[in-house]
């Protein structure tokens, strides 16, 4: 299945690309957001980042007609400032980041991202990275593994799950993603809770840990303060509460950002029907402001609760 771009129209409307502007697509994936930006403005330029070689190849093919206005960079968020400096770009007019995993990553069994396909317990976004999920499980002791599952999956049965996973590993029964799901089910039972498979939170936690996703997001949000020029816009789409919580807190800094919507923007009912994987998406947008400017944007954190936690689902 091809990846369907989430809220492309809303992102372009927020960024409002201008001729001669420089824009960063921090997670180019299938290239949908970059395509929307480049189509909307005939002389805008995009620097497209991704950690996944296959995603860069896919986006390159999709965006080939814009070859003079788009450049692809294989890099993680924490390398973004140096990559821009290397291209003599001091500031950018806008940044979009579509977080989480793409449909191709989920659907390719060899990536090990999903329990719906039997594949290696890998989960690396950048397959040139050092540690797979199986190697992480092997390296951590039971308590450390439980902490990862609790912290990154917000899974309350983390200790039982960690014990069953380590037992399966010791018995030589942890060879594939199906085996990993079986170990989780052995700990918590097969019942789906809130429509989620019982292994959803554990798989999310391991993938986040393997890829350092939250640390990378923190690096992106910190870099955006200096990279996005005054009056430039940041647009971030998150798919679970751990990501969204970080984005929300960063954009609540009214000395640096003016929020352009008091609550996150969510996909339309039509988009959710056409693309079920968009259902958990939240888009937060903000404009960079001068240090001396302050805006009263009617912040109301009590109406935008992070509880209960919202994990990604395989839907």
Q: How far apart are CA 246 and CA 262, in angstroms?
A: 16
pLDDT in tens, the chain (315 residues): 456 899 999 999 999 999 999 999 999 999 999 999 999 999 999 999 999 999 999 999 999 999 999 999 999 999 999 999 999 999 999 999 999 788 888 888 999 999 988 999 999 999 887 799 999 999 999 999 999 999 999 999 999 999 999 999 999 999 999 999 999 999 999 988 778 899 999 999 999 999 999 999 999 999 999 999 999 999 999 999 999 999 999 999 999 999 999 899 999 999 999 988 899 999 999 999 997 766 555 544 444 544 345 566 553
Residues 129-164, buried b or exposed e (16+ Cβ, 10 A)? Answer: eeebbbebbeebeeeebbbbbbebbbbebbbbbbbb
Task: Map tokens 């129209």 to a residue.
Answer: 9
My answer on whether 127 and 202 are in the same domain is: yes
Backbone region of residue 231 per phi and psi (left: phi > 0; alpha: psi in -120 to 50; beta: other values): left
My answer on whether 79 and 114 are in the same domain is: no
Say what the pLDDT of residue 306 is: 46
Domain boundary among 211, 232, 262: 211
Asked if 239 and 100 touch (Cβ cutoff 8 Å), the reply is: yes
Indicate whether 310 belongs to any domain. Answer: no
Stated pTM of the model? 0.90
Domain boundary among 211, 239, 269: 211
Other C-beta atoms lying within 10 Å of the C-beta of residue 238 = 25
My answer on whether 222 and 138 are in the same domain is: no
Query: Into how many domains does the chain fold?
Result: 2
Q: How far apart are CA 154 and CA 142, in angstroms?
A: 17
My answer on whether 206 and 155 are in the same domain is: yes
Say what the pLDDT of residue 127 is: 86
My answer on whether 74 and 220 are in the same domain is: yes
Instruction: Please give the structure tokens belonging to residue 112.
Output: 């090990």
My answer on whether 186 and 169 are in the same domain is: yes
Say what the pLDDT of residue 301 is: 42
My answer on whether 147 and 59 are in the same domain is: no
My answer on whether 94 and 139 are in the same domain is: no
Domain boundary among 183, 211, 239: 211
What are the contacts of 55-62 at 24+ separation with CB within 8 A? Answer: 55/28, 55/29, 55/30, 55/102, 55/104, 55/105, 56/28, 58/29, 58/30, 58/31, 58/104, 59/28, 59/29, 59/30, 59/31, 59/34, 60/31, 62/30, 62/31, 62/32, 62/35
My answer on whether 152 and 136 are in the same domain is: yes
Indicate whether 2 belongs to any domain. Answer: no
**Residue range(s) defining the domain that contains residue 246:** 8-103+213-303
Say what the pLDDT of residue 194 is: 79
């Amino acid at each position: 299945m091809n990846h369907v771009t989430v809220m492309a129209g809303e992102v372009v409307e927020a960024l409002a690309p201008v001729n001669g502007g420089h824009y960063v697509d921090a997670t180019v994936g299938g290239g949908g957001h970059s395509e929307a930006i480049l189509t909307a403005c005939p002389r805008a330029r995009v620097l497209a980042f991704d950690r996944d070689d296959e995603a860069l190849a896919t986006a390159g093919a999709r965006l080939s007609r814009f070859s003079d206005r788009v450049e692809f960079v294989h890099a993680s968020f924490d390398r973004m400032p140096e990559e821009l400096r290397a291209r003599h770009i001091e500031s950018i007019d806008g940044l979009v980041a579509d977080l989480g995993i793409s449909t191709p990553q989920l659907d390719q069994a060899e990536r090990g991202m999903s329990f719906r396909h039997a594949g290696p317990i890998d989960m690396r976004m950048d397959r040139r990275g050092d540690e797979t999920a199986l190697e992480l499980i092997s390296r951590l002791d039971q308590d450390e593994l439980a902490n990862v599952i609790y912290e990154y999956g917000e899974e309350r049965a983390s200790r039982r799950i960690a014990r069953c996973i380590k037992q399966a590993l010791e018995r030589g029964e942890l060879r594939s993603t199906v085996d990993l799901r079986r170990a989780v089910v052995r700990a918590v039972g097969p019942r789906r809770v809130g429509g989620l498979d019982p292994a959803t939170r554990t798989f999310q936690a391991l993938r986040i840990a393997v890829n350092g996703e939250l640390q990378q997001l923190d690096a992106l949000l910190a870099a955006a303060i200096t990279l996005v020029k005054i009056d430039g816009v940041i647009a971030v789409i998150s798919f679970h509460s751990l990501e969204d919580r970080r984005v929300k807190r960063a954009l609540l800094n009214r000395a640096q950002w003016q929020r352009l919507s008091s609550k996150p923007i969510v996909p339309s009912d039509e988009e959710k029907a056409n693309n079920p994987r968009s259902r958990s998406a939240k888009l937060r947008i903000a404009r960079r402001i001068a240090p001396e400017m302050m805006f009263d944007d009617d912040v109301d954190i009590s109406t935008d609760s992070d509880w209960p936690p919202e994990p990604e689902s395989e839907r």
